[in-house]
Structure 1
Amino acid sequence: MRYTLRQLEVFVAVGRYQSASRAAEELGLSQSATSTALAELEKQFDVRLFDRFGKRLQLNELGHQLLPRAIELLDRAAEVEHALNGEAGLAHLHIGATVTIGNYLASLLVGEYLQCHPGSQIKLGVHNTATVIQQVAHFEIDFGLVEGDCQHPELEVENWVADELVIFAAPEHPLARAGKATLAELARVPWIVREAGSGTRQTFDAALRHIGSKLDIRLELEQTEAIKRAVESGLGVGCISRLALRDAFQRGSLVPIAVDGLDLSRQFHFVVHKQKFRTPGMQAFLQLCRDVAANVAVSDEIVLGRHAAA
């Protein structure tokens, strides 16, 4: 063979980050060693895999074609090394999850997965929907678990489980004491909401589109726990997944507010690049996700813990 796995690792890292310095950091190499490995790969085959724009490297057409094949080859090589080392796990997984899924489901799913496959390694990153979709599209992660819509033409989207947002307030709030509100009343109170680019904000904006311009949005936050604390302190009302509010509703520290005719339902999805090789580890984790949601109607009915023992 006229190329090495190390050269492919360098090519893939540079392709993901579009930067030799970031690729070097990821691989634990010097920048000169990274640049040399990439230059040797291109020289051996007399090709160019990147267009150069100063220090930025952008995959050209050939590079785009090669990237998913190189990733697949490296994934298969990792499986071979795992087997030769006698390790029982399913190699390394890099998963992206949006904030609600990441905080309330994904970390628990990772725990169950590692109990079933104790030799495996998982890296879980939690970001908003737009960021996770971008990471999947650039092959920076193996797959994403997202709560917003995805229309990216290079990604495959699979429905996972239904979810529902709920409007809520502190118990002493006038709307909480009433237990319900009209759209006109919602337009007269301050709001604490998720940031633009999040799946939660996407669903919220769509549901309240008729009065969106009238809403008094006082605060935008990236974390659902921060929104809950702000609402508990009386700063306004919020709207996040019922999954994230399950414990607070049981304690009575927050109260749901019903709004007739308001559709706050949505879907959680799996997002995988169409050209991504699905390793046994990926397939096993996605199947675990399907299994825990197989007999539930909405996300907050998922109970984790029984599958690892099954």
Structure 2
Amino acid sequence: MRYTLRQLEVFLATAHFENVSRAAAHLSMSQSAASGALKELESQFEVKLFERAGKRLRLNELGRQLWPRVEALLAQARDLEAGLLAHQELGQLKVGATLTIGNYLAVSIMARYMAEQPGARVQLEVANTRNIVDRVLGFDLDLGLIEGEINHRDLDLLPWRDDELVVFCAPDHPLAGRERLDDDDLRAATWIVREPGSGTRQTFERGMHGILPDLHLLLELEHTEAIKRAVETGLGISCLSRVSLREAFRRGSLVPLAVPHRDFSRAFYFVLHREKYRSPGVERWLELCRASTAPG
């Protein structure tokens, strides 16, 4: 074999940071050692993998074609190493989840995963749909659990489970107790909503098609709990996943509002890079998610 795994690690780190010094620091190498490994990799095959743009090194076309294949190869090597060192198959898993899924569903799945395999490690990153997708595209996450629909040629989007958004308010709000709301009620209301880029916001805007420009959006917040607290204090009404509202409805601190003529149904999805190696840990995580019977 004419290349080493270390050379491939330097290639990937340089592709990620676009700088040899930062790549070397990330790999705990000297800059000269990293530069030498990259130069040797290119000279062995008489190719160039980067173009210099000022102080940055950017992948050329050949480098871009190799990136996902090298990423997949190193992922398999890391998985093999983890199995040899820890005598286990699942190893470390890096999962991204959107706020609703991360806060209300993913933690229980993570607990089951780790209970099955003592010593297995899971890193759970919680962000909005746009950020999770970007992290999967950049090979920073093994998989993502998202609320929004995306379409990208490098990603696989797999359905997981159904969900719906619910319009809600505080129990002493003037709209509480109404049998149903019409579009005039929705236009007259003051809204507290999720930020652009979130799957919840995407579904909300789709459900409000035709009247969206007429809505009074008072606040845009990144966290569902902050939105719930704001609604509880009477600042306005909102629309969030039923999964995130179940406990508040049970306590009576928030109440649902019926808007039957508006469609707020949606699905949760798995998102994975098509070129990334799917380890036994990834496959087991998907199985646990699909087997989950939590209502929602």
SS, match of residue 263 in structure 1? coil
The Cα of 1:43 is off from its aligned counterpart by: 3.1
TM-score, normalised relative to structure 1: 0.89
**Alignment partner, residue 58 of structure 1:** 58
User: 1:57 and 1:97, CA in 2 relative to 1: closer, same or farther beyond 3 A?
Assistant: farther
What is aligned with 1:301?
A: 295
- Determine the C-alpha separation between the residues in 2 that align with 1:194 and 1:156: 25
Report the number of matched residues.
Answer: 296
Is the alpha carbon distance of 1:41 and 1:234 closer, same or farther for their aligned partners in structure 2, counting shifts above 3 Å? Answer: same
Partner Cα distance (1:20, 1:261) in 2? 57
Following the alignment from structure 2 to structure 1, what is the Cα–Cα distance between the partners of residues 72 and 196?
Answer: 34
Query: 1:237–1:30: structure 2 CA closer, same or farther, 3 Å change rule?
Result: farther
Q: Which amino acid aligns with 1:301?
A: P
Separation in 1 of the partners of 2:270 and 2:21? Answer: 31
Q: Sort the Cα spacing of 1:26 and 1:179 in 2 relative to 1 into closer, same or farther, 3 A.
A: farther
CA distance in 2, matches of 1:269, 1:94: 16
For structure 1, the residue ranges without an aligned partner over 5 or more in a row are 294-299, 303-310
One-letter identity of the residue aligned with 1:249: F
- Residue 166 of structure 1: SS of its match in structure 2? strand
Deviating more after overlay: 247-256 vs 102-111: 102-111
Separation (CA, whole Å) in 1 of partners of 2:86 and 2:95: 24
Report what 1:296 is aligned to.
Answer: none
Q: Distance in 1 between matches of 2:95 and 2:129?
A: 13
C-alpha deviation, 1:29, in angstroms: 4.0
Is the Cα–Cα contact under 8 Å of residues 169 and 176 in structure 2 kept in the other structure? yes
Task: Give the distance between the partners of 2:249 and 2:23, measured in 1 at CA.
Answer: 45
Q: How does 1:99-110 map to 2 (within 5 A)?
A: 99-110=99-110
Deviation at 1:38, TM superposition (A): 2.6
Deviation, 1:24, is 4.2
**After alignment, is 231-240 or 136-145 more displaced?**
136-145
Question: Does the Cα contact within 8 Å between 1:68 and 1:277 map onto a contact in 2?
Answer: no
Q: Which residue of 2 aligns with 1:79?
A: 79
Structure 1, residues 79-111: CA drift from partner, whole Å, max 9, x if none? 332333242251221111111111111122111
Residue number in structure 1 paired with 2:226: 226
Letter of the 2:174 counterpart: P
Match of 1:130 in 2: 130
How many angstroms does 1:285 deviate by? Answer: 0.7
2-structure distance, mates of 1:184, 1:139: 46
Secondary structure of 1:90's match? coil
Deviation at 1:217, TM superposition (A): 0.4
Counterpart of 2:72, as a letter, is E
Q: Which amino acid aligns with 2:295?
A: E
Q: Is the 8 A contact 2:72 2:275 kept in 1?
A: no
Question: Residue in 2 aligned with 1:213?
Answer: 213
The percentage of counterpart residues that share the same residue type is 52
Gap runs ≥5 in structure 2: none
Using the alignment, how far apart are the partners of 1:116 and 1:282 within structure 2?
A: 14
Give the C-alpha shift of residue 53 in structure 1.
Answer: 1.9
Task: Please show how residues 154-193 of structure 1 align to structure 2 within 5 Å.
Answer: 154-178=154-178, 180-193=180-193
Match of 2:241 in 1: 241
Distance 1:32 1:195, change over 3 A: farther
**Alpha-carbon distance change, 188 to 59 in structure 1, aligned in 2, over 3 angstroms:** same
**Mapped contact 1:16–1:139 kept (Cα < 8 A):** no
Separation in 2, partners of 1:193, 1:8: 44
Deviates most, 206-215 or 48-57: 48-57
CA distance in 1 between partners of 2:15 and 2:179 (Å): 52
The answer to whether the 8 Å contact 2:76/2:277 transfers is no
| Cα shift at 1:238 | 0.8
- Can you list the C-alpha shifts for 1:250-269, whole angstroms capped at 9, x where unaligned? 11111111112110000100
- Aligned-pair RMSD on alpha carbons? 1.9
Mean CA deviation greater in 156-165 or 31-40: 31-40
- Relative to structure 1, the CA distance from residue 137 to residue 233 in structure 2 (aligned partners, 3 Å threshold; closer, same or farther) is same
Distance 1:28 1:69 in 2: 23
Residues 1:289 and 2:289 are matched in the alignment: yes
